[in-house]
Structure 1
Amino acid sequence: MLLLGIDIGTSSVKVSVVDAATQQIVISAQYPDEESPIKAVHPGWAEQSPLMWWEQTLKALERCNAQKSFDSQDVAAIGIAYQMHGLVLVDKDQNVLRDSIIWCDSRAVEIGEKAFATIGEEKCLSHLLNSPGNFTASKLAWVKENEPEVYAKIDKIMLPGDYIAMKLTGDITTSVSALSEGVFFDFKTNSISKEIINYFGFDESLFPVINPVFSAHGHLLASVAQILGLKAGIPVAYKAGDQPNNALSLNVLNPGEVAATAGTSGVIYGVSDQLAYDPQSRINTFAHVNYAEEQKRLGVLLCINGTGSMYRWAKYNFGAGLSYTQLNEEAKKAPLGSDGLRVLPFGNGAERMLNNKQIGAHFQNIDLNLHTQAHIFRAVQEGIACSFRYGFDIMRGNGMNPTVIRAGKSNLFLSPLFAETFVNATGVPVELYNNDGSVGAALGAGIGAGIFKSPSEAFSNAKAIQLIEPNPSVDFEPVYQEWYTLLNRQLS
């Protein structure tokens, strides 16, 4: 029996076919080969076309099928992971009304901050566990205020994964986890937030039916099954945002367990059983994939917008023609601390851990006679690691103190230098696994379809492939303290 996982990323769509019996990948494919474009009509804006995600999904599945390494009729369930916080709007005929305002778009910051102050900071934090900030609710309010003709046509609002599920099944659903990531969910009443609905003037009919994360969110349409070569009627049995899903893929489900990822954005994501929040909303708390009213499981999320996106920018502007593997090899030629070159990698929209400020990306202390291409690539990796340390200290201050962090061996964690720098910066060992978001989505589908009796059964064969521990002979603290001083100058 096979399971299909679809991961709708900002840069590309990846799909994996997984054998349910062994939990091993049969085949994976990604589309496109280069990073997908982000539309930025104005500074701080970021949009993508939902139709582009759907076309990329079809292309990625086509690549899988072309290998003829599995019988597509054996696929029993589909799971979807997706970039969080994006706003997708459709009319009554399920036509998309505008491009999606995605996670790193900053246009709604002021709207969210005004809502935070007007509703009341204590009420927002105690009920929503977050400020409305720059999340999906504030993005919808921006459309209502600035594009009333679009807003008037809305039949349903969705997140990116909901849209792909709709294209597969014709059905539109949501979950408590999804509503909480949009800051639409009240954890005290365990329902859609009346405060948010009333403050922004939203009609509750705009929200889809609420299903458990692990459940049937619709069944594959015959017309779509024919295009994909799959069996009609199989369920889309799981949908989750990329960070809760990344945690699932690393079997991070219980209080105190922590996952990390360093893709387009960088995230540290810990699980808690407390309805707690950061008073400044610099880190965020959402319902985890296994959240239930009677057994609270919350995902405490630190997000850094500019990790892989910063490294990609450095590649395009300073390493034209080099692969990421070559960039990583070049970075190793520079010494620890990059001979004083420092990078603040905050050029991808408002950063929540910096109180929604946009300070931009900065190179500091450039010496034209000393610094080389190798210094640039190492300094970027060190700057990203310092960003993780900065955010991790905020998480520690909010009671998250893991003894180990789990991460997939992908994206920036493919660089041994970055992985070692991350560990030396945070002081916490990292376990690396082969699983990625598409594999997690596939296994999530197996849980939702009842093929696995529990999440623990779905990950019974998961084994760490590498443990990286802090090197006592490497003193990264002076590098971090200098970086920290530079950051505070920008924030002041």
Structure 2
Amino acid sequence: MLLLGIDLGTSSVKVSIVDVDTQQMLASAHYPEQEAPIISLQTGWAEQSPADWWEQTQRAIAICHQKGGYNPKDIAAIGIAYQMHGLVLVDKDQNVLRNSIIWCDSRAVAIGDKAFDDIGHEACLSHMLNSPGNFTASKLAWVKQNEPEIYSRIDKIMLPGDYIAMKLTGEITTSASALSEGIFFDFQFNGLSKDIIEYFGFSDSLFPVVKPVFSAHGRVSASVAQALQLNAGVPVTYKAGDQPNNALSLNVLKPGEVAATAGTSGVIYGVSDQLAYDPQSRVNTFAHVNYANDSKRLGVLLCINGTGSLYRWIRSAVAPTLSYQAINQEAENAPLGSGGLRIMPFGNGAERMLSNKQVGAHLHGIDLNLHTPAHIFRAAQEGIACAFRYGLDIMRENGMNPTVIRAGKSNLFLSGLFAQNFVDATGVPVELYNNDGSMGAALGAGIGAEIFSPEEAFSNAKPIQRIEPVNAAFEEIYQSWRGILDQHLASISSNQ
């Protein structure tokens, strides 16, 4: 018996096939090979085509099948992980009405900030655990204000993973976890937020049927099954945002457990059983994958938009012919502290942990006679690690004090130098695992299909490496970096 996991990312879609008995990956593939583009029609805008996501999903599944080693007809359940906070709109015939406004789009910041003030800070934070900010609800309000003709034709709104499930099954569902990441969910009443719905003038009919994350979200249609070489009727039994799913894939399900990832964006995600919130809404709290009315499990999420996106930009601008592995090796040739070069990794939209300010990416202290590409590569890694430390300090203010952080050995954590920088910056050991989002989605499908329990799903998961802090001198680097950031924030505030 097999499980299929789909991870809809910003750069590509990855698919994995996992054996139920061993919980081992039999095949994996991603598409496209080159990073998928982000459509930016104006500064601060970020969109992608849902049709492209579906094409990428089908291609990735086909590539997996071509690798052989398993029978696609043995796939018993499907799980989906997806980039969070995106807005997908369809009409009554399930036709997409516009490109998806994705997670790093900043056009709705002012709308969300005004809603926060008008509804009331305490009301938003105590009921939704977040400000409306730049999340999906505010993006939908932007469409209503600026594209009324499109808004009038909306039958259902979805998050990216809901769309892929719809294409597989023809059914549209959502979950409390998904509604909470869009800031549509009231934790006090365990349902749609009347404050948000009434303030923005949304109709309840726009929202899909709400189901648990681990449940049947539809069955693969006959036509799709034939195209993908699957059995008709295979259930989609799990859907979750990429960060809750990353936590699941690292077996981070209990209060106090913490996960991290450093892909296009950087995230630290901790589980809590308290309906708590940051008074400044710099970190966000959503319903975790195992949230239930009688068993509160919340994911406290710190997000940095510009981590892997900064590294991608530097590769393109400085060393387009080098692989990321080669760049990582070059970074190791530069000294700790990068010869005084400091980089602010904030060039991918408004940063939530910086109170939705758009600070931009900056290189500070560059010496034309000293600094080489290796210094730039290392300074980028150090700057990203410093941004993680800045955010973790905010989480510590809010009671999240991890003694160890779990991460998959992927993306930036493939660099031993970055992993050590992260640990030295935060002061918290990291355990690395061989896992990824598509494998987590596959295991989530097994849980949702009741093939196994969460404990059984991760019975074979063991860390492959543990990294301890070794460079106390990194504190000086962080304080230098922090001083530069504080100057930028003060300058932005004085100009507002």
Letter in 1 for 2:477: V
Paired position in structure 1 for 2:473: 475
Mapped partners of 2:68, 2:304: distance in 1: 39
Letter in 2 for 1:393: D
Give the alignment partner of residue 489 of structure 1, picking from 479, 487, 490. 487
The reply on whether 1:408 has 2:414 as its aligned counterpart is no
Mapped partners of 1:71, 1:432: distance in 2: 31
Offset at residue 301 of structure 1 (A): 0.1
- Which ranges in structure 1 are unaligned for 5 or more consecutive residues? none
The reply on whether 1:336 has 2:353 as its aligned counterpart is no
Letter in 1 for 2:484: L
Mapped partners of 2:450, 2:333: distance in 1: 50
SS at match of 2:300: strand
Mapped partners of 1:62, 1:319: distance in 2: 32
Paired position in structure 2 for 1:465: 464
Paired position in structure 2 for 1:187: 187
The reply on whether 1:74 has 2:74 as its aligned counterpart is yes
Paired position in structure 1 for 2:454: 455
SS at match of 2:232: coil
Mapped partners of 2:67, 2:130: distance in 1: 45
Letter in 1 for 2:352: R
If the length of structure 1 is used for normalisation, what is the TM-score? 0.99
Offset at residue 130 of structure 1 (A): 0.1
Paired position in structure 1 for 2:173: 173
SS at match of 1:463: coil
Paired position in structure 1 for 2:90: 90
CA offsets, 1:276-322, max 9 Å, x none? 00000000000000000100000000000000000000000001100
Paired position in structure 2 for 1:420: 420
CA offsets, 1:140-164, max 9 Å, x none? 0000000000000000000000000
SS at match of 2:63: helix
Paired position in structure 1 for 2:493: none
Paired position in structure 1 for 2:262: 262
Mapped partners of 1:65, 1:95: distance in 2: 28
Mapped partners of 2:366, 2:200: distance in 1: 47
Paired position in structure 2 for 1:303: 303
Mapped partners of 1:67, 1:364: distance in 2: 47
Mapped partners of 1:68, 1:225: distance in 2: 18
Paired position in structure 1 for 2:316: 316
SS at match of 2:255: coil
Offset at residue 474 of structure 1 (A): 4.1
SS at match of 1:80: strand
Mapped partners of 1:68, 1:381: distance in 2: 38
Letter in 1 for 2:486: N
Paired position in structure 1 for 2:396: 396
Mapped partners of 1:96, 1:20: distance in 2: 35
Offset at residue 457 of structure 1 (A): 1.2
SS at match of 1:312: helix
The reply on whether 1:280 has 2:280 as its aligned counterpart is yes
Offset at residue 179 of structure 1 (A): 0.1
Offset at residue 9 of structure 1 (A): 0.1
Mapped partners of 1:463, 1:222: distance in 2: 39
Offset at residue 456 of structure 1 (A): 1.2
Mapped partners of 1:435, 1:413: distance in 2: 12
Paired position in structure 1 for 2:109: 109
Mapped partners of 1:290, 1:53: distance in 2: 27
Mapped partners of 2:271, 2:170: distance in 1: 33
Mapped partners of 1:4, 1:124: distance in 2: 38
CA offsets, 1:170-222, max 9 Å, x none? 00000000000000000001110000000000000000000000000000001
Mapped partners of 2:463, 2:92: distance in 1: 47
**1:210-249 paired onto structure 2 within 5 Å:** 210-249=210-249
CA offsets, 1:84-132, max 9 Å, x none? 0000000000000000000000000000000000000000000000000
Letter in 1 for 2:152: A
**1:425-440 paired onto structure 2 within 5 Å:** 425-440=425-440
The reply on whether 1:369 has 2:373 as its aligned counterpart is no
Letter in 1 for 2:285: T
Could you say what the CA RMSD is over the residues aligned between the two structures, in angstroms? 0.5
If the length of structure 2 is used for normalisation, what is the TM-score? 0.98
CA offsets, 1:321-341, max 9 Å, x none? 000000000000000000000
Offset at residue 477 of structure 1 (A): 0.5
